[in-house]
Amino acid sequence: MVTVAAEKKKASLIIIGGGVVACATAYNLAKKGMNDIIVLEKKEIGNGGSCRNAGGVRQSARDVRELPLAMYAVSNIWPTLSDELDVDVEYVQRGNLRLGKTEAHIKTLTGITKKSTDAGLDVKMITGDEAREICPYMSDEVIGASWCPTDGHANPLHTTLGFYRKALQAGVTFISGVKVNGIRKYRGRARFVDTDDGVYEGDNILLCAGWESRAIADTVGIELPIIREFSECMVTEMEPDMFPVMLGTAESDFYGGQTKHGSFVMGGMCGMEPYVSEKDRFITNSVTAPCLSRGIIKYFPVLKDVKIIRTWSGWYDVCKDKVPIIDNISEVPGLTIAAGFCGHGFGISPATGLAVSELILDGESHTIDISGLKYDRFRAKA
């Protein structure tokens, strides 16, 4: 029997949103001795992108502004995260292949590769045959690929809920089923959080509620240029171990890979996304999974007889310049924002948790350089 604590509505820190960023930040803060934290979640822990992504952990093809987070996470956190969280986060570092079938594809991939090598990453272009050596089940139509051997993937469900469990054990309070309507200032500082369960009060407030952060930030006059973008994913039945690499294509037909469990998790878009759903429910569309299946079979004909057992969907929180906002807000002292991860936030989430914990405790992130992710970087055309 789990004991339910008496009503607690006041804490040193109120975190709005219960995803992987919230859980990782709460864990990092609690580790440093600050556990007087209330996390407010509208539905369930990790119910947004945190548990809906395919688990990619990559450094390649990242914007240089968020690359320090990715490099820190891959070098210093992911390799030992299973031990730290006391659960198998299924992290494997066996590389990422981005596949091309036409000369135009190769041109796209060469461009992406150059950006990564310019940033100092070990990424290179390889031939179709070299790609087939890494992943023998690939179609002969693949004529080239970009290859980053230090990329990998992990289990987003275990990672998110693993951070949650550790934070909980360290004394953090999580409250689910509470919808946040806005933030209010008291004497110039962010102080009150208005919810459908009354008012919560914190010395500091962290807003990390995905695309829904925008409406909440707006209540204290901060405009976040974040929109939501719909995407779908699907999973197959269990198969023998076929390949450990993470896959993508130049044409973005699909992305994904095989999990430790044996199932393939593949996601992507059918091209109709902006027009199929205005609903806030996580619906799936009849046209998307067939479209992804066609994409996958083109590259991996051997998978044509594998059964799809489930599809699901989620929202990317897409920021205007495709990198997140992670910053303390000067106009609203006491408020920190971490949102707009654009669908590539999972791989950097352990490092994000560390950076945000330093932002809150020390006022700046001194371990990882996040100076390119400031909230006031956006300008209208001159």
Partner 1 sequence: MTKIVRTAATEPFKPMPDDDMIVCRCEEITKGEIRKAVYDGMSTTNEVKRWLRCGMGLCQGQTCQKNVQSIISRELGLKIPDIGQITGRSPVRPVVMEVFANDVLDVHEEA
- Shortest distance, CB of residue 52 to partner 1, whole angstroms? 10
**Number of Cβ within a 10 Å radius of residue 339:** 27
Identity of the residue, 64 or 283, whose beta carbon is nearer to partner 1 in the bound complex: 283
188-217 residues in contact with partner 1 (CB under 8 A) are: 197
**Interface with partner 1 (CB under 8 A), residue from 24, 42, 224, 256:** 42
| DSSP 3-state of 220 | coil
If one asks whether residue 293 binds partner 1 (CB under 8 A), the answer comes out as yes
Q: How many other CB atoms sit within 10 Å of the CB of residue 288?
A: 24
Which of 134, 143, 175, 318 is in the footprint of partner 1 by CB under 8 A?
175
| Least distance to partner 1, CB of residue 323, Å | 27
Which amino acid is present at 8? Answer: K
User: Taking a C-beta distance cutoff of 8 angstroms, is the pair 249, 255 a contact?
Assistant: yes
- Is residue 81 within the footprint of partner 1 (CB under 8 A)? no
Number of residues that bind partner 1 (CB under 8 A): 54
Which of 187, 304, 379, 381 touches partner 1 (CB under 8 A)? 304
User: How many CA atoms lie within 13 Å of 221's alpha carbon, on the beta-carbon side?
Assistant: 10
Considering just the CA atoms, what is the radius of gyration of the chain in Å?
21
Burial, 224: exposed, middle or buried (Cβ in 10 Å; 0-12, 13-18, 19+)?
buried
Handedness of CA 63, 68, 72, 73 (dihedral sign): negative
Question: Per this entry, what is the length of the chain?
Answer: 382
Min separation Cβ 57 and partner 1, Å: 18
**Residue reference for tokens 């044409």:** 251
Interaction between residue 280 and partner 1 (CB under 8 A) = no
Span from 68-76, 98-106, 169-177, 336-344 in contact with partner 1 (CB under 8 A): 169-177
Is 46 near partner 1 (CB under 8 A)?
yes
Selected binder of partner 1 within 158, 191, 228, 344 (CB under 8 A)? 158
Longest dimension (CA), the chain: 66
From 57-65, 309-317, 336-344, 352-360, span contacting partner 1 (CB under 8 A): 309-317
Distance of CA 80 to the CA centre of its chain: 19
Contact residues: partner 1, CB under 8 A: 1-5, 7-8, 42-47, 51, 157-158, 160-161, 164-165, 168-171, 173-178, 197, 236-237, 261, 282, 284, 286-287, 289-290, 293-294, 296-297, 303-312
